[in-house]
């Protein structure tokens, strides 16, 4: 007979977990997330469970108490739910028998057919919880669960069947360029948009996935070329939101890292338009990572500085302390620096950086056209010009560039014939 699927509200209720191995390691966090008062009976536990015990001990809901011993008859008394999760079938059978006698639901991890209750493959997206049972087949259940959760996360299910359309404006960070690097929440909101106001650095591949009736407004700001003013972009957001349309402002990277995102939030707030901010993966860290360059590395540097170089070092509009950056030994990540790299390199050298400091330049990071070159602070401007480097590109200055070179040398050595 098919089981009866039920959502248990366990807040403050005692749940007994017998066993401290890998199955318990998966189950206990979900019980704690449900605010259950978990009592764990096991002679030993995994390191992850021990960490939970230390951090979530004490009294009240959402806590865990460890009884460091084997199971004993009587442990099920007072429990609302029991989980028999040891690797000993006899122990699990004894726990299940005691729970059955006490009329307490018990889940046996080792024997679905002998288990009074099954734990569904579950997932949560926003305020929606999905639970799937597949006749006791956990792999099949997990596969179906994943398909449903993925559809909810990327918005494809919700876009077709939504009942509660979001309101106002969502300011969504699209990540460094690869469509797969947008957050799941950002992708879900994008699929529900009536209007998308997008810039040139946003993951444009996602626009092809939008419903045909979604209006897409190009708000590109092309360096030294065509541009849409920030004021006009602000107006787009308010105008469409006031018409009752859900607007997604899709920006590259993170909207609050040199993205003028907060200006858009302020404009909407002044006009009474609600705004949801969805952070994005900033290209300042993601692009060096995509090129195999860590911005920090133990024994090399404990700091990194992210700098907008849209204003040259000698420009009165620049607020960057170039003298401090020249003296620093930390990694420098320079955005919008391609056109000004000659002056930037000269300035950093003048203030103390060695002309031999390693530099990497990554163009179109995370995208199929990604390419990178390595140079030194003294040679980088000339090498960029010779290679035809153009925006968008990220410049990384510091010894972490040599860390990436070490990886390349190791791989080259491994590929050589013995």
- Mind telling me the catalytic residues? 199, 221
Contact 247, 241 (CB under 8 A): yes
Cβ proximity of 251 and 201 under 8 Å: yes
CA distance 358 to 239: 48
CB neighbour list of residue 168: distance below 8 Å, 6 or more residues apart? 241, 246, 247, 268, 273, 274, 275, 276
H or E segment and range at residue 235 = helix 230-242
* Residue 211, burial from CB neighbour count under 10 angstroms (0-12, 13-18, 19+): exposed
In contact, 41 and 75? CB cutoff 8 Å: yes
- Give one word for 163, left, alpha or beta, with left for phi > 0 and alpha for psi -120 to 50: alpha
In whole angstroms, give the CA distance from residue 305 to residue 225: 29
The helix/strand/coil state of 145 is helix
CB atoms within 10 A of CB 169: 28
Burial of 254 (0-12, 13-18, 19+ CB in 10 A): buried
Tokens of 81: 């739910």
Q: In this structure, is the dihedral angle defined by the CA atoms of residues 138, 139, 145 and 148, taken in order, positive or negative?
A: negative
- Sign of the Cα pseudo-torsion (113, 119, 123, 128, in order): positive
CA 250 to centroid of chain Cα atoms: 17
Is 206:226 a contact under the CB 8 Å cutoff?
Answer: no
First to last CA, the chain: 63
Helix (H) / strand (E) element for 157: namely helix 156-161
């Amino acid at each position: 007979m098919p089981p009866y699927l039920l959502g248990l509200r366990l807040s403050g209720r005692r749940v007994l977990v017998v066993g401290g191995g890998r199955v318990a390691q998966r189950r206990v966090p979900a019980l704690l997330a449900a605010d259950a008062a978990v009592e764990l009976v096991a002679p030993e536990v995994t390191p992850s469970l021990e960490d939970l015990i230390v951090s979530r001990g004490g009294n009240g809901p959402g806590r865990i108490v460890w009884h460091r011993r084997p199971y004993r008859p009587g442990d099920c008394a007072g429990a609302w739910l029991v989980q028999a999760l040891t690797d000993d079938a006899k122990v699990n059978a004894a726990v299940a028998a005691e729970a059955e006698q006490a009329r307490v639901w018990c889940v046996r991890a080792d024997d679905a057919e002998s288990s009074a209750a099954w734990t569904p493959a579950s997932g949560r997206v926003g305020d929606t919880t999905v639970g799937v049972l597949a006749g006791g087949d956990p792999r099949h259940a997990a596969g179906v669960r994943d398909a449903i959760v993925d559809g909810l996360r990327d918005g494809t299910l919700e876009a077709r069947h939504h009942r509660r359309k979001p309101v106002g404006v969502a300011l969504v960070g699209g990540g460094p360029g690869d469509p797969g690097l947008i957050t799941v929440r950002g992708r879900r909101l994008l699929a529900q948009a009536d209007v998308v106001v997008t810039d040139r650095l946003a993951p444009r591949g996602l626009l092809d996935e939008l419903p045909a009736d979604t209006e897409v407004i190009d708000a590109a700001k092309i360096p030294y070329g065509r541009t849409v003013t920030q004021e006009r972009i602000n107006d787009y957001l308010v105008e469409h939101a006031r018409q009752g349309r859900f607007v997604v402002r899709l920006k590259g990277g993170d909207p609050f890292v040199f993205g003028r995102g907060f200006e858009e939030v302020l404009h909407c707030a002044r006009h009474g338009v609600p705004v949801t901010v969805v952070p994005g993966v900033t290209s300042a860290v993601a692009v060096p990572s995509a090129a195999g360059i860590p911005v920090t590395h133990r024994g090399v540097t404990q700091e990194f500085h992210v700098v907008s170089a849209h204003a040259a070092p000698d420009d009165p509009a620049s607020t960057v302390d170039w003298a401090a950056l020249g003296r620093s030994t930390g990694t420098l990540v320079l955005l919008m620096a391609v056109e000004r790299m000659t002056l930037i390199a000269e300035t950093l050298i003048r203030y103390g950086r060695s002309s031999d400091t390693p530099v990497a330049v990554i163009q179109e990071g995370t995208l199929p056209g990604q390419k990178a070159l390595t140079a030194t602070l003294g040679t980088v401007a000339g090498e960029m010009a010779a290679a035809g480097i153009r925006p968008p590109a990220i410049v990384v200055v510091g010894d972490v560039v040599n860390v990436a070179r070490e990886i390349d040398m190791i791989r080259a050595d491994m590929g050589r014939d013995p």
